[in-house]
């Protein structure tokens, strides 16, 4: 289900006009004309961003992860700045799947935006119920299974930290959503070997993976002598995690070169995005940078095209995983 092996054919010997670069890419069976998406949780359903650029002109929107029932999220404070990043402990605040379909997804459909719906559950059964709710929305591009959530059936262990739990959630979504909707598993970096989790998700029916989710972190207020966030810990995002993200993508692409990867984690520019592509990502998502520059997805998409042209790549797909070819050839 994951397609043919992806290793770039290589650039030409000279730079080319960036306007001639073919930016088309695929995530499993999803073929999109552009490789830049939003990251889940940073732009809701895109209504706010649409005033800054045409959100239908990028690869697509990945919605904020939605759960079965409405959630108010954690108490404040639930966000904190850090050196080169930010911590968030929002707690998956959201309206619940029914209102989400009626309002957010209806707006995206009307706006003709390519949409990846991110879902999150606390049990395997919840993932299945969520998938069934969106099964008949044929215009949706894919489902992202956010498995970086505590599994209440397993003493609160995060799904994505265990290959068996990860596979169970993905398999339930695959069964519930049917064979025609691509399923993308969102992976956590807080594991010993991320390739093991990726393999388990593929074996369970995932068409691709989104990586990486935030890293678990903490900030302490030294004047109050206690954690800043109300929940204690939160997810670290932003430029600080980019090297971790590039490493994780490199490892998964090396182990599973057939597997489409939606890469994310601290991307601020087209050159940053190019790193992810060269490491093995088929497309990228922009998250924390949106808070500083709401037009970042569109800007980075243009910058990435320019970077590919400078290197002589006629097609983005030729650059996917190309750093592996150079690295292996230098040994």
Per-residue pLDDT of 188-239, as tens digits, reads 999 999 999 999 999 999 999 999 999 999 999 999 999 999 999 999 999 9
Interval 94-104: pLDDT, tens: 999 999 999 99
The reported pLDDT for the residue numbered 1 is 37
Catalytic residue among 42, 149, 161, 201: 149
The pair of three-digit structure tokens given for residue 180, joined into one six-digit string: 């025609």
**Strand-pair category, 150-151 with 283-286:** unpaired
Judge whether residue 69 has pLDDT over 60. yes
Residue with tokens 């732009």: 43
pTM: 0.94
Pick the more confident residue, 60 or 12. 60
* pLDDT of residue 155 exceeding 90: no
| pLDDT over threshold 60, residue 250 | yes
Q: Which residues, other chains included, contact 26 with Cβ-Cβ below 8 Å and sequence gap of 6+? A: 3, 32, 260, 282, 317
Based on DSSP, count helices (H) and strands (E) in the chain, helices before strands: 11, 18
> Beta-strand (E) ranges in 23-175?
25-27, 30-32, 36-38, 61-62, 79-82, 85-88, 115-119, 142-146, 150-151, 157-158
| Omega before 77 within 30 of 0, i.e. cis | yes
Kind plus residue range of the DSSP H or E element containing 171: helix 163-177
In CATH, which superfamily holds the domain spanning 18-329?
Aldolase class I (3.20.20.70)
The total of other beta-carbon atoms located within 10 Å of residue 98's CB is 13
Q: Is the pLDDT of residue 4 over 60?
A: no
Instruction: Assess whether pLDDT exceeds 90 at residue 147.
Output: yes
- Residue 85 CA to residue 110 CA, distance in Å, equals 34
Q: Which two tokens stand for residue 42?
A: 């940073």
Whether the per-residue pLDDT at 134 is higher than 80: the answer is yes
Q: Quickly state the pLDDT bin for 7 (edges 50, 70, 90).
A: low
The residue written with tokens 């990860």 in the block is 166
149 is catalytic: yes
Give 31's Cβ-side CA count (13 Å radius).
3
The CA-to-CA distance between both ends of the chain, in Å, stands at 32
């Amino acid at each position: 289900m994951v397609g043919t092996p992806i290793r770039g054919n290589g650039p030409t010997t000279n730079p080319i006009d960036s306007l001639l670069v073919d930016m088309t890419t695929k995530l499993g069976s999803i073929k999109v004309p552009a490789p830049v998406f939003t990251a889940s949780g940073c732009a809701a359903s895109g209504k706010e961003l649409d005033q800054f650029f045409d959100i239908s002109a990028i690869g697509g929107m990945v919605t904020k992860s939605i759960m079965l029932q409405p959630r108010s999220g954690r108490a404040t404070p639930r966000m904190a700045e850090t050196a080169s990043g930010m911590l968030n402990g929002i707690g998956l605040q959201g309206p619940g799947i029914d209102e989400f379909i009626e309002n957010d997804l209806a707006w995206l459909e009307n706006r003709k935006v390519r949409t990846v719906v991110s879902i999150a559950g606390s049990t395997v059964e919840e993932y299945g119920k969520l998938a069934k709710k969106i099964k008949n929305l044929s215009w949706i591009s894919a489902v992202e299974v956010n498995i970086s959530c505590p599994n209440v059936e397993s003493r609160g262990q995060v799904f994505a930290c265990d290959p068996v739990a990860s596979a169970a959630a993905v398999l339930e979504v695959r069964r519930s959503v049917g064979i025609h909707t691509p399923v993308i598993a969102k992976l956590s970096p807080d594991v010993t070997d991320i390739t093991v989790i990726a393999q388990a998700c593929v074996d369970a029916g995932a068409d691709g993976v989104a990586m990486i989710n935030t890293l678990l972190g903490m900030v302490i207020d030294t004047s109050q002598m206690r954690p800043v966030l109300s929940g204690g810990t939160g997810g670290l995002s932003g430029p600080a995690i980019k090297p971790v993200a590039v490493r994780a993508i490199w490892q998964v692409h090396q182990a599973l070169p057939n597997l489409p990867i939606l890469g994310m984690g601290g991307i601020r520019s087209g050159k940053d995005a190019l790193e992810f592509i060269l490491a093995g990502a088929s497309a990228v998502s922009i998250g924390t940078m949106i808070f500083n520059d709401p037009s970042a997805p569109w800007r980075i998409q243009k910058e990435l095209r320019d970077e590919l042209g400078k290197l002589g790549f006629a097609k983005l797909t030729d650059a996917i995983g190309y750093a592996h070819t150079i690295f292996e050839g230098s040994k």
